Chains A and B, each alone.
Chain A
């Protein structure tokens, strides 16, 4: 299993990339910065599984918390509102 690079509380940014194929990183969150809420464990990479490969080594999976204002600059609700998304490690970089 790949080692977990980030710890809860650390700032991370989602890679802004647009690869073809089956990807579990939603478009709206690419390029956004947030904070690691927890490490969910490590799982076979779904992008590889979709290609009938084994997806190993397992990729650490994080829940990342984003402020809505950082995701949608015109978000109409309170500043405190957040959205949390599960992101695999290879989609994250230190922010």
Chain B
């Protein structure tokens, strides 16, 4: 809808952001250009980076082994620049389904998935995902059988988590690029499965 030009005061957090930014510039701690560059940098990080990592792990077993042992090191070997990220990759198998939450705030592997979706930061998701994960997953449309263990990862401190979903059936012989197209953001958080091959073929 077109903005009718009505005056709307800034919200508390908008005002705080503007104030802090102007003070940093005024005091010469950061320049406008540096701030713009960082915002641009943040915007350029998208879930495609994570999808590349997952697709590589699906086709390259030695990369997958390294990824599960030392996530950050494995990503660096792909040429991804992940300053300060201590990554733990957790693997979905026919017996185990993993999902990520941060109950204390909204810690998220931004370097690989970009800016988190609003629901990830909501009180609803953060409080219920550790308490009744199967109910929450159902609300996302994901039914996990009782015979499969659910492993919830609460990223409360230094590490960041990424789910390595299972490679969809019917993708034998696919290239890494084509596989990466099936890997959704939500499947790397653990609230969905990758797209099935029929959907994007």
Q: Which residues of A contact B (CB under 8 A)?
A: 24-26, 28-29, 40-41, 43, 46, 61, 63, 65, 71-72, 75-78, 80-88
Known contacts A26-B103, A40-B159: A86-B131 contact under CB 8 Å: no
Report how far A53 CA is from B90 CA in the complex, Å. Answer: 33
Q: List 28 A-B contacts (CB under 8 A).
A: A26-B103, A26-B154, A29-B154, A40-B88, A40-B157, A43-B157, A43-B158, A46-B157, A61-B157, A61-B159, A63-B88, A77-B132, A77-B150, A78-B146, A78-B149, A81-B134, A82-B149, A82-B150, A83-B151, A83-B152, A84-B151, A84-B152, A85-B156, A86-B155, A86-B157, A86-B158, A87-B157, A88-B157
Q: Which 7 residue pairs of A and B lie closest in terms of their CB atoms, listed nearest first?
A: A86-B157, A80-B149, A83-B152, A81-B150, A85-B154, A86-B156, A24-B157
What residues on B are CB-neighbors of A28 within 8 Å? 103, 130-131
What residues on B are CB-neighbors of A88 within 8 Å? 157
Report how far A24 CA is from B134 CA in the complex, Å. Answer: 25
Determine the residue in chain A with the shortest Cβ distance to B144. A77
Chain B contact residues: helix, strand, loop or mixed: loop
Name the residue in B86, B130, B149, B157 with the highest tally of chain A Cβ atoms < 10 Å from its Cβ: B157
B197 touches A (CB below 8 Å): no
CB distance from A33 to the nearest CB of B (A): 16
What residues on B are CB-neighbors of A43 within 8 Å? 157-158
Chain B: how many interface residues by the 8 Å CB criterion?
Answer: 22
B153 touches A (CB below 8 Å): yes
Q: Which residues of B contact A (CB under 8 A)?
A: 86, 88, 103-104, 130-134, 146-147, 149-159
Report how far A75 CA is from B146 CA in the complex, Å. Answer: 13
Report how far A61 CA is from B88 CA in the complex, Å. Answer: 14
User: Across the interface, do B156 and A40 meet the contact criterion of CB distance under 8 Å?
Assistant: no
CB distance from B150 to the nearest CB of A (A): 5
Report how far A81 CA is from B137 CA in the complex, Å. Answer: 14
CB distance from A2 to the nearest CB of B (A): 15
What residues on A are CB-neighbors of B132 within 8 Å? 75-77
What residues on B are CB-neighbors of A29 within 8 Å? 154
Report how far A46 CA is from B157 CA in the complex, Å. Answer: 9
Report how far A65 CA is from B150 CA in the complex, Å. Answer: 12
